[in-house]
Amino acid sequence: MSNVELKQIFESKKEKIDAYLENILNNDEIPDVLCQCIAYSLLNGGKRIRPVLSQITAEKLGIDPDGVLPLAAAIEMAHTASLIHDDLPCMDNDDYRRGKLTNHKVYGEAMAVLAGDSLLAYGFELCLQELPRLGFTQSNILNALKIFSHAIGPCGICGGQALDITQEGHEGEGEFLWKMCELKTATLLRASITASAALVGAGEKTMSCLHNYGTHLGISFQIIDDILDVTGSISELGKTPGKDAREGKLTFVALHGLERAKELAMEETKKAIDSILPLGPDFEVFLDIAEYIARRSK
Amino acid sequence: MSNVELKQIFESKKEKIDAYLENILNNDEIPDVLCQCIAYSLLNGGKRIRPVLSQITAEKLGIDPDGVLPLAAAIEMAHTASLIHDDLPCMDNDDYRRGKLTNHKVYGEAMAVLAGDSLLAYGFELCLQELPRLGFTQSNILNALKIFSHAIGPCGICGGQALDITQEGHEGEGEFLWKMCELKTATLLRASITASAALVGAGEKTMSCLHNYGTHLGISFQIIDDILDVTGSISELGKTPGKDAREGKLTFVALHGLERAKELAMEETKKAIDSILPLGPDFEVFLDIAEYIARRSK
């Protein structure tokens, strides 16, 4: 598949999720002041990689990708929640995100905390409200939500961010970095694929291949992030580059140097591709996605 | 039922939930540093009113109350998450909670944010992991989690806290206060009863009575909270009293005066009792609970 074709697939799926996310905030029960604060970050033109992956997964498993939109939205909401909270002064203290002021710079820290909390809970509410109406079996819904909840909790992104902040673990630096990366980034990226697969009832072999693919894709994604923090510009990234280095944070670039980090990203991309190959030509798009993510510049 | 008997019921159920909460934190997947921070607030001797209500509800509906422990724990975890976040400097800026330093005073703000986020997600994970094994129907599990997620999101405690912080709404003061109180306090207290009832498969009439009971109980609970903020001492409350008044916050006492607030609490207690009466003598304990909550001094 050409780069252009892949971009078109991403673009059309991104439009769907953008429209869907906008729609779910039309809810009179949510106090206006909170709703605006949530919308500011949720409808802020993210790349939507995770919900696009959820949709593509469903499609490749023979299911209408619109059906998984509530789950895809919940995953993007949890991702947005983590970004809002990570940007807080007490965490990474970032003023810009996606080229705009961060949530707390506009709405204040208290509202930013509440917007993040809201997004975490509202994703579940949305799934529990919508998925049973969309014809998925109750068993598949429960399995999908189990994968999702694991990815966003203390064994997933929260745990990874705690390791990132404290830089404290029992392991050596290399092992610690790997674990932090898996928790902070890989679990949710992987869940955007595996939770969707569970929702549409994928079999054991498919689940296992997608699980491995998602892990390697997620790690490659984080290594590229570390690289872009060194090589990217604020206009490309939409956020301040060079922060990790200035703060002396453990990253793949800090530990291994830029060249070795690039090699590691390629190795993880290769492993991702090897993991998906057993599923045959129907899943070819996942090979292109792995290469697309390895080549990204923002 | 005598006060002593009710206290004994609460005490024995509180012991169950305390032991259960301690046990779920024995999870090697959670990074140590985050686990300690979570445990500090979660295992900090709260009154456990909500999970006790969940257990009593199940029992009165003829189900072993131990079965609803994962849900009861999730509700207490979400409550604890909201307390940790509410105590942050950017929110209510409280130094003491339950007689001990607040979470961020010990672990720092960043970890306190992550502990709250973790508790929100981990409650769902726990329920999705444990409830299917405990013999509940998938349909009942989904219904219970729907009620739970609604109560802790932007239409529940997050929305209520947003109103409390901004003190901004379209309504007049009286209506605004009522709405804030319902979102901030009543939704989760009610959900601790109704989600448990949904989990054990209660019928429509029972659900409706318990829903109304929970709403009035929750509002009465908040009015008493407002009263205790004026009349209570730090040793009784375990937190700094008089804060609402000093910050000029809209409370039932501020709007109506102390005496009228006491009357309103009694009126809500009476309405709670009237709501539960149609369910007959099996549910008598709920009458005692309503009076117990109205009389509480901490």
Instruction: Please check the confidence at residue B288 and state whether its pLDDT lies above 70.
Output: yes
**ipTM summary value:** 0.95
Residue B67's contacts (CB-CB under 8 Å, 6 or more residues apart) are: B58, B134, B135, B136, B200
- Over the stretch A234-287, which tens digit does the pLDDT of each residue have? 766 666 677 777 777 889 999 999 999 999 999 999 999 999 999 999 999 999
- Over the stretch A182-229, which tens digit does the pLDDT of each residue have? 999 999 999 999 999 999 999 999 999 999 999 999 999 999 999 998
Q: Output the pLDDT for position B245.
A: 75
d(CA B146, CA B154): 14
User: What is residue B100's DSSP assignment?
Assistant: E
How many other CB atoms are there within 10 angstroms of residue B245's CB atom?
A: 14
Chain A hits for B121, CB-CB cut-off 8 Å, are 78, 120, 149, 152-154, 156, 158
Chain B hits for A82, CB-CB cut-off 8 Å, are 117
Instruction: Please check the confidence at residue A95 and state whether its pLDDT lies above 90.
Output: yes
The answer to whether B166 faces chain A, any CB pair under 8 Å, is: yes
d(CA A156, CA A5): 33
Considering only the beta carbons, identify the residue of A30, A91, A156 that sits closest to B113. A91
What would the mean pLDDT of A84-102 be, rounded to a whole number? 94
What would the mean pLDDT of B93-115 be, rounded to a whole number? 95
Determine, for residues B90 and A110 on separate chains, whether the beta-carbon distance falls below 8 Å.
yes
Cβ burial of A114 (10 Å; 0-12, 13-18, 19+) is buried
Q: Output the pLDDT for position A182.
A: 96
Q: Which residues of B190-208 are buried (b: 16+ CB within 10 A; e: fewer)?
A: bbbbbbbbbbbebeeebbe
Question: Please, which pLDDT band fits residue A120 given cuts at 50, 70 and 90?
Answer: very high
Site of tokens 């961010």: A161
Determine, for residues A38 and B132 on separate chains, whether the beta-carbon distance falls below 8 Å.
no
Class for domain B3-295, per CATH?
Answer: mainly alpha
Alpha-carbon gap: A222 to the closest alpha carbon of chain B (Å): 19
- Over the stretch B215-233, which tens digit does the pLDDT of each residue have? 999 999 999 999 998 887 7
* Domain residue ranges of chain B, discontinuous segments joined by +: 3-295
